[in-house]
Structure 1
């Protein structure tokens, strides 16, 4: 008991030294239902990676996202990628550099396309930010990734993308464009994975306590084989329209609810040795998820949050045109922040009963893994 009392006293004393800031991380967004939705209701550093104009709001800030350094794409709490960056205000502009924000769409496509694992993934990206205020807040970024391997078959990987965004009081908008993304060389030098010109555009509008938003996206890639068979091809298009409301339910608690519609269509056509005669499929779906979330400043040194989401209506169908609804969509997450003045340690609350957080009993508070997908943030 003495050790616990000393620890609690230490946290309390440190919490009195500084005032807390609201900047946060992947863990915060995931515990509030995912950054795709929660970003509309909470100002957060993750917003910069979608709309770079948020560099005007989240500045003089440092963040570290703990995670692995493997080739695989970020897969949530069970397999986060390590990344982080810093944003600093200057005399005229605000600048930033962010490391490790890999294009998850490109890496997932490469991982599931039937291509050979010897092809290089997008890796070690560097993203540079700049922003300012010319009557309206604006921001832009450029992201570059370049890698090579000449041990054996020569392999190269290069990627370039840009982002633009603006915030105009109640209205904001952004455009993200993947200009170039290509990997050459695998088992042989003739293998090639090429991401086509991909783009995402979105906008949102605040009316009273309500917010309405929409986004459209188009993506695709081509895989050139080394055995004379035809190229593999994958395309996807999506549309999201939604709205919700955030409510300050008390001095220390904020609640939000969100309802949105998602439409997606994708086509895949591959001839691969692994798939025998090849893979050719078509997937179409739409769904209507709802999310409720709550964030509470429980103590000066502790913030708690959680959210529940579920798909109310949905329709999925593939090549056979026989539709089905989405199953097992109820998802609950929770998280916490330990606040030491301007320093925060954040994470999802562990739900496993052993070191492998996703194994064993679910819904069990794991004291051996109290916080997972951990992040550290500091404002200066």
Structure 2
């Protein structure tokens, strides 16, 4: 058992640029730079060397960041190019509100295919120009089950730039559709804008995400949703002897409106306002092993309200417990890093047990050229 524990903890990131498991273990803190950062700001591929990253996962998962994917980045003089296979982009899942489709379709085998991007591909390219680095990414997926009349397609664009202490990125959904013989889903709005600023040990950031979609069942419109999310926050990172401790907070405002389109459906409006606080650390246990973890919880402000028509259906201020813990580790073999994270730490089904089912719930391998 002791040998199993040592091996399992070892197989999970030690370099600054590692994998999805590292980002998950550090609570997706805004200040982190990682191979996964390219999926939000493609210009950040210039902050690391050339690499190939492989992520374990399933081809049938409907949850973001749980599927199999791979990313390759190579230099070409002052330019860099990237190729990603299998990554489910925010352009469709978040900006395009594909979750609405999942809710109505109830997740049968054929409808799930339309809800998710199928074999998505992303192409990235960027260059340095003076003090500025810029890059762009094209996102595309397409699927057509001709026998069962199930289709999905998506297209998107991401633009990113780095200049001095600033970083910027914009995400644009260019197309987002999913359908079966009875259900027709179409994204109507999909755009995000992000800016970050680093000063000494502090990192300040802000983001706006606008999303919209409409859905019809048997030619009758059942949903027309528009959402707005605004986030502002700051993180302080304290580094010493190869170790890092960080803490921060952000204010997150979210609003969703669903126009009642059927005769029996009232308009629905949901709003939330949260102040999540994050505390995390990443420490070198040895020269070849790194341990990391984070804790996130909304503090003081955790408000939620849902109105159906003129009546209030749900209202909490503040809301219930939402503490989330994440723990992971990594092992470096020369230029190869293998990362993993632990599951079963939080949630209604949390076991707090360390066994073969919870170890390495997320595994990624990164090779730096």
TM-score normalised over the length of structure 2:
0.86
Distance between the aligned counterparts of 2:230 and 2:335, measured in 1?
38
Match of 1:93 in 2: 79
Matches of 2:60 and 2:276, distance apart in 1? 32
SS in 2 for 1:187: coil
Determine whether 1:175 maps to 2:161.
Answer: no
Q: In the alignment, what sits opposite 1:348?
A: 341
1:149 and 2:174 matched: no
Which residue among 276, 284, 297 is the counterpart of 1:289? Answer: 276
| CA–CA separation in structure 2 for the residues paired with 1:358 and 1:257 | 22
* Matched residue, 1:28: 22
- State whether structure 2 residue 31 is matched by structure 1 residue 62: no
**In structure 1, the residue corresponding to 2:38 is in which secondary structure?**
helix
| Contact 2:61–2:67 under 8 Å retained in 1 | no
Q: Does residue 1:232 correspond to 2:232, yes or no?
A: no
Aligned to 2:287: 300
RMSD: 2.6
Distance in 2 between residues matched to 1:293 and 1:279, nearest whole Å: 43
Match of 1:82 among 50, 63, 68: 68
Length, aligned pairs only: 347
Q: Quick one: distance in 2 between partners of 1:205 and 1:358?
A: 33
The alpha-carbon deviation at position 83 of structure 1 amounts to 1.1
Give TM-score, length-normalised by structure 1. Answer: 0.84
Q: CA deviation at 1:310?
A: 1.1
Map 1:1-380; keep pairs closer than 5 Å. Answer: 4=3, 21-33=15-27, 35=28, 38-40=29-31, 42-70=32-60, 72-74=62-64, 80-102=66-88, 103-105=92-94, 106-113=97-104, 118-119=110-111, 120-121=114-115, 122-135=117-130, 136-152=132-148, 154-184=149-179, 186-188=180-182, 191-227=183-219, 229-248=220-239, 250-269=240-259, 277-278=264-265, 280-312=267-299, 313-319=301-307, 320-321=311-312, 323-324=315-316, 325-351=318-344, 362-367=351-356, 369-380=358-369
Native 8 Å contact 2:336 2:367 kept in 1: yes
Q: What 5-or-longer segments of structure 2 have no aligned partner?
A: none
| Comparing 360-369 and 284-293, the one that deviates more | 360-369
Shift of 1:280: 4.3
2 CA distance for matches of 1:49 and 1:211? 19
Q: Secondary structure at the match of 2:221?
A: coil
Task: Go from structure 1 to structure 2 and tell me whether the alpha carbon gap of 1:147 and 1:369 turns closer, same or farther (over 3 Å shift).
Answer: same
Q: Give 5+ residue unaligned stretches, structure 1.
A: 12-19
Higher relative contact order (CA 8 A, sep 6+): 2
Q: Distance in 1 between matches of 2:260 and 2:229?
A: 21
Higher strand share: 2
**1:266–1:282 Cα contact (<8 Å) kept:** yes
